[in-house]
Amino acid sequence: MSGDLLSDLLAPLRLHGVFHSRWLAHAPWGVSGERDDCALLHYVVTGSCTVELPGSAPVRLEPGDLAVFPHGSAHRLGDRPGGPAVPLAEVLPEREPGDVTTVEIPGPGPRTLMLCGGLHYDRAAAAPLYQALPPLLTLRSEQLHAHPLLGATLHRLAGEWDTAGPGAQLVALRAFEMVFVLALRAALDLGCPADQPILQALRHPGIAAALRAVHTRFAETWTLESLAAEAGMSRSAFAAAFRRMVGQAPMRHLTARRMQEAARLLTETRLPQHRISERVGYGSPVGFHLAFRQWYGVTPGDFRHQAG
């Protein structure tokens, strides 16, 4: 990866809390959850389970496997695919950040012990590139062994269930945050499946260099030609590769990053609009006004007013 693009990708998330739980589920069992405003982690300690996402083939998790849902995508967990499932809200009606609980599902069959964590973040602050990550990343036990710090942290989290000590909530947040970052790094190190082109983009020297420029130097006067030069590629090859891997045209992705930062400045600062337009790469306040309205459907002033 060019520079530390992963850090640039994750830094704006502003993680603010983790809900974590230990599951003791005896077959037959199944639980379905709706999309949640958090990144989700499922780590199988003993036993096994199946993950099902709409429109995707079931994924079997064995002992030591880790499943990461960057967007908290709706999914089903169970001892087998296609079985009956109860809504997660019936099993865990309250899942506030900072809470911790143990879930027990009785049954006559084999038991699965699983550690689950939900890292809450400001979805509006997620970088456009983060939003392009696949709904599920799976790391197998043998793959975790290649990343000792990740494996050791998961092992300690699964084995130590003391939530009453001083600073327990902060410790849990930082531990799950580290697991999340290390898991994404491990996923990038493992290769780039054809069905996950965004991971290819993060590993591609030229595309990653352009992405780093877009996400950290968005205020500069970029053109398709200058971004291609940053990537060390011809204009046509760069444009085609960027669209294929990132899912957007380069200039569209640049606009998305600029508009995200503009929205943040409008809601979190009192900077006048002409200063914000300069900070996000628009030399003309009028051009910024028109671009913002086209992107969000409201003027910058109305957006700031609606945000309170």
Could you tell me the pLDDT band of residue 57, with boundaries at 50, 70 and 90?
very high
129 and 234 share one domain: no
Tell whether the model's pLDDT for residue 168 goes beyond 80.
no
Please say which residue of 135, 165, 189 terminates a domain: 189
Check residue 2 and give its pLDDT: 43
Number of domains in the chain: 2
- Is the separation of the CB atoms in 47 and 63 below 8 Å? yes
215 and 129 share one domain: no
149 and 37 share one domain: yes
With respect to residue 74, please indicate whether it lies within any of the assigned structural domains.
yes
Structure-model confidence comparison of residues 121 and 159, the more confident one? 121
Q: How far apart are CA 230 and CA 236, in angstroms?
A: 14
With respect to residue 198, please indicate whether it lies within any of the assigned structural domains.
no
Could you tell me the pLDDT band of residue 74, with boundaries at 50, 70 and 90?
very high
With respect to residue 199, please indicate whether it lies within any of the assigned structural domains.
no
Could you tell me the pLDDT band of residue 235, with boundaries at 50, 70 and 90?
very high
Check residue 184 and give its pLDDT: 87
In the block, tokens 């496997």 appear at 65
Check residue 165 and give its pLDDT: 64
43 and 182 share one domain: yes
6-18 average pLDDT score: 77
228 and 90 share one domain: no
Helix residue ranges per DSSP H, the chain: 5-10, 88-91, 128-131, 141-145, 148-159, 168-189, 197-203, 205-216, 224-231, 235-246, 250-268, 273-279, 285-296, 300-306
What domain range is 101 assigned to? Answer: 5-189
Question: What's the gap between Cα 257 and its chain centre?
Answer: 16
